[in-house]
Amino acid sequence: MKNNSSIKRIGVLTSGGDAPGMNAAIRAVVRGSVFHGVEVDGIFQGYAGLISGDFKRLNERSVARILGRGGTILKSSRCVDFMSTEGRKKAFEQIVKNQVDALIAIGGNGSLTGAHLLYEEFGIPVMGIPGSIDNDLFGTDHCIGFDTATNNVVDAVDKIRDTANSHNRLFFVEVMGRRSGFIALKSGIATGAIAIILPEDEMSVEELVETLQRSESSGKTSSIVIVAEGSKSGGAYARAQAVTKKYTQYETRVSILGHLQRGGAPSCYDRVIASRMGLGAVEGLLEGKKDCMVGIINDKEVYTPLEVSIAKSNFPNRDELRIARVLSI
């Protein structure tokens, strides 16, 4: 297809924590670009590769059979050098050297902050794609990877419940989410957790003990508490310790799910949103949009200024928290 834009070559990278569905987004960026007559360079290792010049030309065949693969074929990093203007200047020099006219960054809050600074300081058109299991970026209903990660948690907690039940135990299960409780809330509802501890809404130890006592008195013999790793009073270990000081009815165990949450094949939902956002990022740039994040809100592609996406964050639905409390009695 004829490309009338001044953008003839796009660079694409993945940055920060990987998220299932990132490959589907890369595939969509590459194929969408080729479809519109634009060349694509894959940049390896996130911003570290942008600084060191780890660029490789990709074509529509380079991204075959990656749609259903977890992780990211471009690899990722949390690049400390890119946090300084000096580091970003080196990155910009590589962009110029490789004749890249625009950059697409797939990642979470920190990664899109980097993209925004690159635009502010050097004027290179950038477009962000929200890829983060934490689901906290503003300007989209869901970030790529969140659905898969939540399903991974549900699978794991269902298994933990079998053993919790057999031993009449209370389990504190810690899930990812440094500043955000989306994974904890959704998986907590889906697994019937007795309590869900979020960074955005802490349940006090007293309230938790009361909840446990009430359920036990109605015959409940085992329970699961989901704790987001970023909860202010500490993770699952801290919570378990605080509760067992006041309540010893159950034998207690702690399970930290860790990085298994981020792995595995992306769900259908993540593949679809990643495909839509990947193409949306390319088409947005070709229409002249820049310094934006492409998201999907109410089933429509939307472009939010990066400045806004990174400054605000999505907040878990308070009503879902209420639903979880009512249904866990």
Can you give the binding site for ligand F6P, defined by CB under 6 A?
Answer: 16-17, 78, 108, 132-134, 176-178, 229, 262
Q: Which is nearer to ligand F6P, 34 or 196 (CB)?
A: 196
Edge-first strand order for the sheet with 169-175 is 195-197, 223-228, 169-175, 251-256
Q: Enter the tokens of residue 123.
A: 């004027």
Q: Which is nearer to ligand F6P, 36 or 186 (CB)?
A: 186
At 288 the three-state DSSP class reads coil
Contacts of 59 (CB under 8 A, 6+ apart): 30, 34, 40
Nearest to residue 91, comparing CAs of 109, 118, 56, 125? Answer: 118
Edge-first strand order for the sheet with 9-14 is 55-58, 39-43, 9-14, 102-107, 126-130, 292-297, 300-305
Taking the complex as a whole, the smallest distance from the CB of residue 262 to ligand F6P amounts, in Å, to 6
126-130 vs 102-107, strand pairing mode? parallel
Q: Which residue has the tokens 């990211």?
A: 72
Q: Which is nearer to ligand F6P, 39 or 174 (CB)?
A: 174
Taking the complex as a whole, the smallest distance from the CB of residue 149 to ligand F6P amounts, in Å, to 8
Q: Which amino acid is at 148?
A: T
Q: Which is nearer to ligand F6P, 40 or 184 (CB)?
A: 184
Taking the complex as a whole, the smallest distance from the CB of residue 140 to ligand F6P amounts, in Å, to 15
Taking the complex as a whole, the smallest distance from the CB of residue 107 to ligand F6P amounts, in Å, to 9
For the question of residue 134 being annotated catalytic, the response is: yes
Q: Degrees (nearest 5) of the Cα angle 218, 224, 230?
A: 135
Task: Catalytic residue, from 41, 134, 147, 270: name it.
Answer: 134
At 4 the three-state DSSP class reads coil
Contacts of 214 (CB under 8 A, 6+ apart): 329
Taking the complex as a whole, the smallest distance from the CB of residue 92 to ligand F6P amounts, in Å, to 25
Active-site residues, by number, are: 134
